[in-house]
Structure 1
Amino acid sequence: MKAIKKNYGWIIVAILALLPMLVIINMFNVDLSNGFSLSLIEGKGADGKTTLEMLYHISGEFAIRWMTAVLTLTPVFILFGVMNLFVRQAMGIATAVWSFLHFIIFIWAEGFLETFTQINYVAGFVAILILIPLFFTSNRKSMKYLKSNWKKLQRYAYAAIFLSLLHVAILNKTWLIYAIVVGVGFIIRIPFIKNKLIERRKKLKS
C-alpha cells in the first residue's frame, strides 16, 4: 500500500497513457499460424478515415497531448504551487512512447526514406531524435548522475514541442489549441510575469 500511495501519480499517468492502446490493438490482426505476421484490419477507422489514417490520428494526437500536458506543469506550479517532479517524468515517458509509436507506424506503412520527402515529416523526425535522450534520462538515476545538466537536457523538450506543432500545423490538423496552451505557458514563464504571479500566490496563502 505504501508503494502505491508513493507512486500513485505514476500509476494514474500509466493508466491514462495505456488506455488508448486498447483501441489501437483492435486495429491489428496477428497471425501466428505461419510464424508471426501483423496486418491492419480494414474498416476500423472513423469519420471517413481508413484504419491506417486512424492509427496516424490516434498516435499523433496522444503524442502532442502528452507533450503539451508536460509543458503545462511549470505554469501550473507558478500559478498554484503544485508540482510533482516524478509525475512529470511519467508524463514525459508517455509523450515519448506515443511519439515513438506514431513514428514506428509511419515507418511501417510508408518506409523510412519517406521521412525526408516533406518538411513536416522532417520536423517530426527531428522531434523524435530530441525525445530519445529525454526518454532514456527520465529516471532518478539519470537525475543524480547528470545533476544540473539534467535540467539543461530536459529544456530541449521546448524544441521538440515547437517542431511537433510545426509538424501538425503543416498537416492541417487540430493544432491551434495546443499552440495556444503552450504559448500561454511560455508567457507565464517570463521572469517578470512569473515573479508577479508567485508573489500574488504567496500573498493569497498568507
Structure 2
Amino acid sequence: MTPQQPRLISRLGKPLVFIASLLPLVWLCWLIRQGQLGANPVETLSHHSGDWSLRFLLLTLAVTPLRRLTGWNRLQQFRRMLGLFTFFYVCLHFGVYLIFDQFFDLRAIIEDVAQRPYITVGFAGWLLLIPLAVTSTHTMIKRLGRNWQRLHRLVYVIGALGVLHYLWLVKADLTEPLVYAGVLAVLLGYRLWWWTRSARIARSIR
C-alpha cells in the first residue's frame, strides 16, 4: 500500500459510509412513492425504521471491537457518524409512532408509555440517546473530558433497551429479535472480557 492510499481511504471513507447510511431512508422513500407499504403502511414504516435503528446501534457498538481485532484504527472515525445515524433512525421511528400512530395525542402517548412495557423501554432508550447525540461534537468532548466517556457508556444500556423493546413487541416469531440479542451479547461480552483483561494487566504491572 502506497503512502497515498491510506489518505485516500480516509478521505473517501466517511462520504461512502454517509451515503450507505442513507440508503435505508432512500429505500423507504421509494416504497412510499411506489405505494408498496402493504396493507398496514404505518406498521411497515415503524418496523423499517425500528429495524434500522437497532442495526445502526449494533454497528456503532461493533466499531471498537473490530478496530481492536483487526488493528485498523481508522475504523474509529466512523463511530460517531454511525452513532448519529442511530439517533436519526430512532427519531424517525419515534416520529412514525408520534405522527401516524398517535396523531400527536399527548394523553394517549403518556398512557401508552405507562401501560405498555415495550413502549416504555423504547421511549426510555430514545430519551437516553438525546444527551449522547447532543454531546457528540468535538467541543463537547473536550468540555466534558473523562465525563464524556462515562456518559457515553449509556449506549450499552440503550442497546439492552432496544433489544428488549423488540423482544416484547414481537408476539410470534422471536427469531430476528433473538439474533439481535445474540449480537448484542457478543459485543458486550467482548467489552467485559477486554476490561477484565486490561485490569488484570494493570494490576500485574503495578
TM-score range, shorter chain: 0.7 to 0.9
Q: How many residues align?
A: 183
Q: Are the counterparts in 1 of residues 60 and 79 from structure 2 also a CA contact under 8 Å?
A: yes
Report the alpha carbon displacement of residue 195 of structure 1 after superposing the two structures with TM: 3.7
Q: Distance in 1 between matches of 2:135 and 2:8?
A: 23
Q: Residue 150 of structure 2: which of 143, 149, 152 is its match?
A: 152
Q: Residue 179 of structure 1: which of 181, 196, 199 is its match?
A: 181
Report the alpha carbon displacement of residue 176 of structure 1 after superposing the two structures with TM: 1.3
Q: 1:24 corresponds to which residue?
A: 28
Q: 2:68 corresponds to which residue?
A: 78
Q: Distance in 1 between matches of 2:157 and 2:44?
A: 27
Listed as ranges, the matches of 1:17-166 within 5 Å are 17-28=21-32, 43-46=35-38, 50-83=40-73, 84-111=75-102, 112=106, 113-114=108-109, 115-116=112-113, 117-166=115-164
| Further displaced range: 97-106 or 6-15 | 6-15
- TM-score computed with the length of structure 2 as normaliser: 0.77
SS of the residue corresponding to residue 129 of structure 1 reads helix
Q: Are the counterparts in 2 of residues 188 and 194 from structure 1 also a CA contact under 8 Å?
A: no
- TM-score computed with the length of structure 1 as normaliser: 0.77
- Residue by residue over 1:177-203, the C-alpha shift from the partner in whole angstroms, topping out at 9 and shown as x without a partner, is 11111111222223468749xx9xxxx
Report the alpha carbon displacement of residue 68 of structure 1 after superposing the two structures with TM: 0.7
- Residue by residue over 1:8-65, the C-alpha shift from the partner in whole angstroms, topping out at 9 and shown as x without a partner, is 3321221122112123224557xxxxxxxxxxx8x5225xx52211101110010000
Report the alpha carbon displacement of residue 74 of structure 1 after superposing the two structures with TM: 2.1
Question: In the alignment, does 2:19 pair up with 1:15?
Answer: yes
Q: Distance in 2 between matches of 1:72 and 1:51?
A: 32
Report the alpha carbon displacement of residue 145 of structure 1 after superposing the two structures with TM: 1.6
Q: Residue type of the partner of 1:97?
A: F
Q: Residue type of the partner of 2:142?
A: K
Structure 2 unmatched runs, 5+: 1-6, 202-206
Report the alpha carbon displacement of residue 161 of structure 1 after superposing the two structures with TM: 0.7
Q: Are the counterparts in 2 of residues 66 and 95 from structure 1 also a CA contact under 8 Å?
A: yes
Q: Distance in 2 between matches of 1:7 and 1:144?
A: 24
- Percent identity of the aligned residues? 28
Q: Are the counterparts in 2 of residues 71 and 185 from structure 1 also a CA contact under 8 Å?
A: yes
Structure 1 unmatched runs, 5+: 30-40, 200-206
Q: Distance in 2 between matches of 1:74 and 1:5?
A: 19
Q: Are the counterparts in 1 of residues 80 and 136 from structure 2 also a CA contact under 8 Å?
A: yes
Question: In the alignment, does 2:167 pair up with 1:169?
Answer: yes
